[in-house]
Homo-oligomer: A and B are copies of this chain.
Amino acid sequence: MAESGSSAGGGETLLFLTDDQLRKGIEAMFFAYRGFTADPDRILEDKGYGRAHHRAIHFINRSPGTTVNNLLSILGVTKQSLNRVLRTLIDDGLVRSDVGTRDKRERHLYLTETGEVLERELSNAQRKRMRAAFRQAGPEAVVGFRQVLEAMMDSDMRRHYAKLTETG
């Protein structure tokens, strides 16, 4: 409404910024995210877990020894929600929770060997789909894909994303 695809100032047409193009992007995100989560969802439901368990497992695997608080800020949920998920994972022997040495109030989280097995099963399934999509679209498309996604993140999330990708 306030801004159409044609810039008033410059001579550029900016046809890729029309409301129609934006709508296509929005719907592409919606449908693609469904595919993105479909394979892990199938694996998880067989084992009585949900997406929340997957997220915890993923980020514990990415940052072994991370604290509950760090995980909270990445996942953006309350400690009570996360605690319920972590409790089942710890009770089922997929996650180990070690009291901190420097600060004994903190718990440091690690995947057990059983946890790593499930993590690999989940990430293999998700990577398989991502690999097929990347291959089909080609390397230049992948660059653009990530550029747009990074620009779409909230700054907090972009910070977490950058921190995760810089080291690992």
Contact = CB atoms under 8 A, between A and B. Distances in A.
Interface of A: 1, 3, 14-17, 19-36, 38, 55, 62, 76, 120, 123-124, 126-127, 129-154, 157-158, 160-161, 164-165, 168
Contacts of A148: 32, 133-134, 137, 141-142, 144-145
A33 B25 CA distance: 12
Nearest to A143: B144
B153 A16 contact: no
A123 to B, nearest CB: 8
A36 B36 CA distance: 15
Contacts of A123: 23, 26
Given A34-B154, A35-B152, A137 B144 contact: yes
Nearest to A154: B35
A94 to B, nearest CB: 20
B153 A17 contact: no
A153 B31 contact: yes
B25 A161 contact: no
A131 B28 contact: no
A127 B153 CA distance: 14
11 contacts: A25-B142, A25-B146, A26-B126, A35-B157, A134-B151, A137-B148, A137-B151, A141-B144, A141-B145, A143-B144, A144-B147
Contacts of A140: 140, 144
A148 to B, nearest CB: 4
A29 B35 CA distance: 11
A112 B135 CA distance: 44
